[in-house]
Amino acid sequence: MAQTVVKAACPLNCWDSCGLKVTLENDRVVKVEGDPDHPITKGKICGRGRMLETRTNSPERLLHPLKKINGKFEQISWGQALDEIATKLHDIKERFGTTAVLHSHDYANNGILKNLDQRFFNCYGGVTELYGSLCWGSGIEAQKWDFGNAWSHEPNDIINSKNIIIWGRNAARTNMHFYEKLLEVKKQGAKLYVIDPLFNATAKIADKHITIKPGMDGILAAGIIKEMLRLGLEDRSFIEDFTFGFADLVNLLDGISIETISEMTEVSQENITELAHLYADKPTATFMGLGLQRYQNGGNTIRLIDALAAVSGNIGIPGGGANYANLQVGQSFDFEELTLPGRRKNHRLFSIMKQAEGILSAVNPKIKMIFVTCGNPLTQVPDSTIVAKAFSSVETLVVMEQYMTDTAKLADYVLPVTTVFEEEDFYYSSMYHHYVNYGPKIAAAPGEAKPDLWIWTQLAERLGFGSDFDFSRDEWLKMTLRSLEGKGLSLEKLKEQHTLELPVQKVPWQDRKFQTPSGKFEFTSLTGRVKGADGLLKLAVPEESKWKNPNIAEKFPYSLLTIHPMRSNHSQNYHLLGGKVKLKVEVAQNIAAAHGLQTGDFVKVWNDRGEVKGYVSILASAHPDTINIDEGIWKEFGGSVNNLTSSHESDNGLGSTLYDCLVAIEKI
C-alpha cells in the first residue's frame, strides 16, 4: 500500500510543542513519530504524541451532531443543530442580553485559530467569559508583579548554567525535551538539584533531591535568602542598582528564624545552607514547574523564588533566570485582530476556578446557555460535585468535542469536531521553547466532524455577522502573523520550513530594564499596589494546613497532590488506553505504615467535598504525609480527583488551589 510521510505538529497543551512526522496510508494516519528536523524536539516525542494516531482513528470518535431528547442522545443534521443553536442565541440576546451565555473553555489545543471562539462571542455582543487559569495563573501574575512579564531563557541557554534547581517541575514526565537537556548538561558537569515532595523521575537523575512539605516552597526560598544574607553571599550591586523594595524583604526575613523555617518546610537547616551556597555559585538557573503554585499562597511562592533569583544576582545573566513560562512566545502574535475585543458591547467575568459557583449564583442575567470548547470541566475543574450541579442546571449546554466525555454526556447538543490532522493551523506553546510549528490538513475528517472554526462561521452567518468570519485559512493565519512579517517571518516561510524561530529575548532582562512601574525588579510590587494589595512579599502558607486551619488539618491529616498523568494529557487519553485504567492512590511510606496499607489495597480517600476510591501504591521516597492521585480520570474509570479539590482562588486571585487539599484515607 502506498505510504507517504508528511510533517505536522503536536497540538496538545504541553511544554514541548513538538514537530511531528506522520505516516499516511491512503490518506489515513497510520503512525505518528517525531520530526528529526525540529530544532528543539529533534525527532523524539512522547506516548501522548504517538497516541494522536489513536485519537484520530478511534471508533469512539463523535461523528454526528447529537441532541438530547427525553434524556437520550439522538443524531440530528448539522442544519438542524446550527439552526436551533443560532435561534437560541438570538432569543437569549433579545430577552436576557448576551451575557446570559457562558463560554467555558480551557486550552486543549494550542492552535492559534482555536482563539477564534473569542471572536465569535465578541461579535455576538460579549458573553460571560472566564478569567484566571487553573494551570499557571498565580505564577504568571506573580512574575508580572516582579519582572513586569513572565519570560524564560531559551532552552539552549542551559548549557551556560553551573547549577540547576528544579522546583516542582516533573520534567521527565511533562517536559521531556527539557529532561533530555538536563541529561546532556549533567554530562558536561552541571549540578542538578530537585526540590519536590515526590521522588519523581527527574529527581532520579539529580545530584540531590530535597523533599519539602507541599506548598512551603516560598518559605524555603525565604530561608535560603536569609542564609545568603547571613553569610554575605548576596549580589549587592544587583540589589542596589536594579531592584526596588529590598528593605521590605529584609524586614520580612527578620521576623522569622531559620529554625522556624526549617520546621515549617520540613527541610533541614543543612540543606537550606547548601542551597544558599549553590545560588551564590553562579550562574544558577531556577526552573519552576506549575505544580508548586497551585496553592492558595501560590503567588507568594513564585514571588519568593523570584526574589531568591534576584538576591543571588541570577537574573539577566546567561545560565541563570527564574524560568517559569515564556509569554514572549504568545505575545509575538496579533491577537486583537483575530479576536476583535472592541466588538464586545457587554461583558461579564467569572473566575475559571469558580465558574460553577458563578453559574449557580448569577443574576441579571442568569446563565441560560453554556458553550464548552477545548475543555472538559466535569473532570478538570475543581470541586466536581458543584461543577456537575452547575452544568446540569442551565437550559442549554452545547459541547464541542471529539469524544463523549463526562462533560459531553451532560450536554443538550454535542457537536463533533476534527482532530489536529484534519484541519490546518499553526501551533505554539508559551511554556518552553520559542518555535512555532505548522500543522497542515493531512487527513479527511470522519463522519460529519467539523473544525471548530467551521461551526463558528456557520453560526455567525445565521446570526448576521457572517462577514466577520468570511476569510480563508490562509487569510486567518496571515492575520495573526502580520506584525512578524517585518521581521522576516511569513506564512509562506512557515509552510515551507514547518517551524520558525520567533524573535524573542533569549536571555530575558539582560538589559536590566524591567517592565515594572519602577523599571526595576520589584521585591515590593507597585503593580500589586495598583491592584489593591499592599504589594509586599508574605511568608504565606497553604490554606489547608495546620498553620492556617488546624481543625481541618486534624480531621484530614494528609496533603493530596493531583499531578499530571504519564500517558494522558489531562483527561484526553484514558478511554483510549485499552481498558487498563485503574485509579492509583500513591501514598508516602509513613501513611502506609500508619494505616497498615499494602500495595494493591483498595482505599477510600475523602474530605468534606467528596471521595475517591482506588488502589494503593507505596512511594518509598515521598515526603511524609503526602498522597498523590493523578488528575484527569473519567467517571467510568474511578472518577475525577477533583471530587476532592477546592475551587478557591490563589492569593493574587488568578490561580487555582488544586494541590492545596487535605484528605483522610482508609482501607475498605
Ligand X SMILES: Nc1nc2c(c(=O)[nH]1)N[C@H]1C(S)=C(S)[C@@H](COP(=O)(O)OP(=O)(O)OC[C@H]3O[C@@H](n4cnc5c(=O)[nH]c(N)nc54)[C@H](O)[C@@H]3O)O[C@H]1N2
Kindly list the residues in this chain that would bind ligand X in the complex (CB under 6 A): 13-15, 48, 106-109, 134-135, 167-170, 173-174, 195-198, 200, 212, 214-215, 217, 289-292, 373-376, 380, 400-403, 405, 417, 452, 561-566, 569-572, 631-632, 641-642, 645, 658-659
User: Nearest CA to 156 among 507, 438, 504?
Assistant: 507
In angstroms, the CA 134 to CA 667 distance is 31
**Binding interface with Mo ion (CB under 5 A):** 135
For residue 522, the surrounding DSSP H or E stretch is strand 521-522
- Minimum CB–partner distance for residue 559 and ligand X (Å): 8
631 binds, among ligand X, Mo ion, ligand SF4, none (CB under 5 to 8 A by kind): ligand X
Query: What's the min distance (Å) between Cβ of 345 and ligand X?
Result: 25
Cα-trace Rg, the chain: 25
Nearest to ligand X of 169, 181 (CB atom): 169
- Residue 67's beta-bridge partner residues? 74, 413
Concatenated DSSP letters of 454-510? HHHHHHHHHTT-GGGG---HHHHHHHHHHHHHTTT--HHHHHHHSEEE----SSTTT
Considering the rule CB under 6 A, would residue 8 count as an interface residue with ligand SF4?
no
394 binds, among ligand SF4, ligand X, Mo ion, none (CB under 5 to 8 A by kind): none
Under rule CB under 6 A, residue 12 binds ligand SF4: yes
Task: Give the integer Cα–Cα distance in Å for 160 and 320.
Answer: 8
- By the rule CB under 6 A, 171 interacts with ligand SF4: no
| Closer Cβ to ligand SF4, 81 or 108, answer by number | 108
CA 66 to chain centre: 30
Give me the least distance between CB of 441 and ligand X, in Å please. 13
Cβ at position 356, least distance to ligand X in Å: 13
Number of residues that bind ligand SF4 (CB under 6 A): 12
Q: Tell me which amino acid residue 664 is.
A: A
Q: Give which of 374, 359, 333 is closest to 134, Cα–Cα.
A: 374
Candidates 46, 85, 171, 665: give the one binding ligand SF4 (CB under 6 A): 46
Query: How far is CA 285 from each of CA 151, 158, 182, rounded to the nearest angstrom?
Result: 13, 7, 12
- The answer to whether the beta carbons of residues 261 and 299 sit under 8 Å apart is no
* Cα torsion through 197, 198, 200, 203, rounded to 10: 40
Smaller CB distance to ligand X: residue 319 or 439?
A: 439
Residues 662 and 557 sit within 8 Å (Cβ to Cβ) = yes
Nearest Cα to Cα of residue 98 among 484, 442, 371: 371
373 binds, among ligand X, Mo ion, ligand SF4, none (CB under 5 to 8 A by kind): ligand X
Residues 287, 266: Cα–Cα separation, whole Å? 21
- Distance in Å, CB of 508 to ligand SF4, minimum: 23
Q: Which cell numbers hold the place of 247?
A: 528593605
From ligand SF4, ligand X, Mo ion, none, which one binds at residue 169 (CB under 5 to 8 Å depending on kind)?
Answer: ligand X
Question: Which amino acid, residue 415?
Answer: L
Q: Does 49 bind ligand SF4 (CB under 6 A)?
A: yes
Which phi and psi angles does 178 have, rounded to 5°?
-70, -40
CB nearer to Mo ion: pick between 524 and 647 = 647
Which lies closer to ligand X via its Cβ, residue 353 or residue 394?
A: 353
- Judged by beta carbon distances under 5 to 8 A according to partner kind, the member of ligand X, ligand SF4, Mo ion, none in contact with residue 96 is none
Residue 45, interface with ligand SF4 (CB under 6 A)?
yes
Instruction: Single out the residue of 158, 170, 165, 223 nearest to residue 194, CA to CA.
Output: 165
Nearer to Mo ion, 143 or 527 (CB): 143
Report the residue number, 35 or 306, with the smaller CB distance to ligand SF4: 35
- Taking the complex as a whole, how short is the minimal distance between the CB of residue 49 and ligand SF4, in angstroms? 2
Which residues are paired to 400 by β-bridges? 373, 415
Number of H helices, E strands in the chain: 25, 27
Told to check if 176 binds ligand SF4 by CB under 6 A, we report yes
Q: Answer yes or no whether residue 22 interacts with ligand SF4 by CB under 6 A.
A: no
Residue nearest to ligand SF4 (CB): 49
Q: Which residues bind ligand SF4 (CB under 6 A)?
A: 10, 12, 14, 16-18, 45-46, 48-49, 176, 569
